[in-house]
Chains A and B, each alone.
Chain A
Amino acid sequence: GAGVSQSPRYKVAKRGQDVALRCDPISGHVSLFWYQQALGQGPEFLTYFQNEAQLDKSGLPSDRFFAERPEGSVSTLKIQRTQQEDSAVYLCASSPIGVNTIYFGEGSWLTVV
Chain B
Amino acid sequence: EDQVTQSPEALRLQEGESSSLNCSYTVSGLRGLFWYRQDPGKGPEFLFTLYSAGEEKEKERLKATLTKKESFLHITAPKPEDSATYLCAVRDSGGSNYKLTFGKGTLLTVNP
Residues of A within 8 A of B42 (CB): 106-107
Is A40 located at the chain interface by the 8 A CB criterion?
Answer: yes
Counting chain B residues whose Cβ lies within 8 A of the other chain, the interface size class is 20 to 34
CA distance A102 to B99 in the complex (A): 9
A-B contacts, CB under 8 A, total: 57
With A100-B31, A100-B32 already in contact, the answer to whether A42 and B102 are too (CB < 8 A) is: yes
Which residues 33-53 of B sit at the A interface, judged by CB distance below 8 A? Answer: 34, 36, 41-46, 49
- B104 and A45 within 8 A (CB): no
Is B100 located at the chain interface by the 8 A CB criterion?
Answer: yes
- B89 and A42 within 8 A (CB): yes
A-B pairs, top 7 by smallest CB distance, nearest first, are A42-B102, A104-B43, A104-B44, A45-B99, A106-B43, A42-B104, A107-B43
Interfacial residues, chain B to chain A (CB-CB below 8 A) = 4, 31-32, 34, 36, 41-46, 49, 87, 89, 91, 96, 98-105
